[in-house]
Each structure stands twice: as C-alpha cells, then as structure tokens.
Amino acid sequence: MKTVYLCSICNISSGNCGEDCAFCTQSAHNNTKIERYRQKELKDIIYEAELAKKSRAVGFCLVTAGKGLDDKKLEYICKIATKIKKDISGLSLIACNGTATKEQLKELKKAGIDSYNHNLETSKEYYDSICTTHGWEERFQTCLNIKDAGLKLCSGGIFGLGESVDDRVSFMDSLQELQPDTVPLNFFHPNPNLPLENKTVEIEDALYWIRYARQKLQNSVIMVAGGREITFKDRWTEIFQAGANSIVIGNYLTTKGNKPNKDIQTIEKLGYKIAQNCNK
C-alpha cells in the first residue's frame, strides 16, 4: 500500500526579498499584494506547528524570504527549532532559508533541524532567465553543503517558467546528481504582477514530469508542492498514480491551499496510508 507523507509549511519571514526571482511573489522587484513581515512571533509559529501535527503532517518547514542566512536569522531559526523540538514530539523539522554555509547548517542541525530545503528551481542553463541577482551554481553548492553538514536534503524546483523540455531534462539530471531525500515539485501559480506568462502547466504535461521524476529519482520522496490545486484541480489524486508520495497540506507561503482534512479524507478513500513519521 502506498504511504503518503504530509508536510506543512510556515512562512516565518515574508516578503521584501531583494532577489529578483521571476516566479516569486515575495520578491521586492515584483509588485505583488502579499502580507509582509520580518519575523513571525514564536507563539504563532508554535501554534501552527501544533496545528500541523493535528493535521497529521510529519514535516514542518520553517521558511524565510531572502537570499540566505545571516547571524540574526540563524539565531532566530535555532530558537524556534529548539522550542518546537522541546514542546512537540514527532515532527521532523525542515528549514528553508536560502544560501547557507556548512557551518551555519551544522548550527541548525544542533538546534534540532532535520532537513534543509533549497531548490535548484530549474536547469543550470535556464536559471539566468528567471533570476539575475544570484546564480544557479551557488544554489547547487548550498545543496552540497547541506549533505556535508549531515542534514537531509530537500531539493526540487518549479515547472512552468517558460523552460524547454531540454531544461527540464537537465534539471532532473542535476537532481539525480544530488540524490535528495525529498524532491518538491512545484507548478507555477500565475499572478498578473509576475513577469511570466500568465498560465498554468497542462495537467498531462505535469503528470508526465512527475512520472519522469519518479523513474529518475527512485530513492527520493517525490512531493507535489505549490500549485497542486490550481494545476491539477479535481484530478489532483492522479499525482499518486504518477509516482508522487508526498504533498504539502494546508496553505502555501503566499497562496491558499485545500483544507487539510478534505485532502486527508480523499487520500484515505483511495486506500493510501498517511505516514506516521518521516522514516521511509
């Protein structure tokens, strides 16, 4: 029986990012209407972590907008991780805080972070077309740092940015080289204020690339993350037949998701098991 891993994400520092990633509503270069705040209060994060646990998430991801970690951010995230690990049992903690050195990642690990998310986003060849303020190579390097620091690696990307089939193949080749523990596949969520074509990925196309990822990355958890609802609509459970075995439940960073209970009921009706912990 297929086991489905649920993960919940928490936007602990939102918006005002100086980078110019074309797909991102949190970039200050893109004039989007989103909530912006520097640091979410610890009590609110704990509340969300408890809610995630009740919603049967096994992973809880602490996400900050911005290029990468600095001393202040590192201290803030370590404080949150320590508190969650002390108060809530059984949640695997993921940090997603941009570029990071091996030393910074080791600090996070010491504080209780289990896994670090840093997406390659797209192919090495196409990256400059969607971001000009930093390069793909440093993203790849951070992924290597994550592994070197002894954290689990969560790395994937996003489809629907105008990339070619060759770009997608190259992106998958790079992921294969990294062998992430988890590969989040996002599908572009159009927004009229983003400098990209205002359209979603076709369902059949999206399912093809999930199947491709499943074959290419046989030891990784394949997670369908942002854009699931808007891309697949009422056909979203087909992602599991295509090879996905994980989803993000609840809301995303700046867009709303389905109600977790509704998704869980649907998954269980199909006869799939909801994972009780992150162990494969």
24 part of the interface to ligand SF4, by CB under 6 A: yes
Question: Residue 237 CB, nearest distance to ligand SF4 (Å)?
Answer: 28
Rule CB under 6 A: choose which of 5, 7, 8, 19 binds ligand SF4.
19
Question: Residue 127 CB, nearest distance to ligand SF4 (Å)?
Answer: 11
Q: Could you give the string, one character per residue 69-108, with x where binding to ligand SF4 holds by CB under 6 A and - elsewhere? A: -----------------------------x----------
Helix axes 102-111, 136-148, angle to 10 degrees: 50
Calculate the CA dihedral of residues 85, 87, 89, 93 and round it to 10 degrees. Answer: -30
Provide the sign of the torsion angle of the four alpha carbons 222, 223, 227, 230, taken in this order.
Answer: positive
Interface size with ligand SF4, residues (CB under 6 A): 10
Alpha carbons 10 and 81: distance in angstroms, whole number: 13
Quick one: which of 154, 145, 10, 144 has its CA closest to 76? 10
Question: Residue 179 CB, nearest distance to ligand SF4 (Å)?
Answer: 23
CA–chain centroid gap for 77, Å, is 17
Quick one: which of 143, 80, 148, 144 has its CA closest to 112? 80
Q: Looking at 16-24, 84-92, 200-208, 254-262, which segment touches ligand SF4 (CB under 6 A)?
A: 16-24
Question: Residue 240 CB, nearest distance to ligand SF4 (Å)?
Answer: 27
Closer Cβ to ligand SF4, 133 or 265, answer by number: 133
Q: Tell me how many degrees the CA angle 261-264-269 measures, rounded to the nearest 5.
A: 125
Alpha carbons 48 and 224: distance in angstroms, whole number: 21
Residue 168 contacts residue 123 (beta carbons within 8 Å): yes
Q: Looking at 60-68, 76-84, 153-161, 240-248, which segment touches ligand SF4 (CB under 6 A)?
A: 60-68
Residue 17 CB partners (closer than 8 Å, separation 6+): 24, 26, 27, 28, 65, 66, 67
Q: Looking at 23-31, 157-165, 183-191, 236-244, which segment touches ligand SF4 (CB under 6 A)?
A: 23-31
Q: Looking at 47-55, 61-69, 105-113, 165-173, which segment touches ligand SF4 (CB under 6 A)?
A: 61-69
Binding site for ligand SF4 (CB under 6 A): 17, 19, 21, 24, 26-27, 65-67, 98
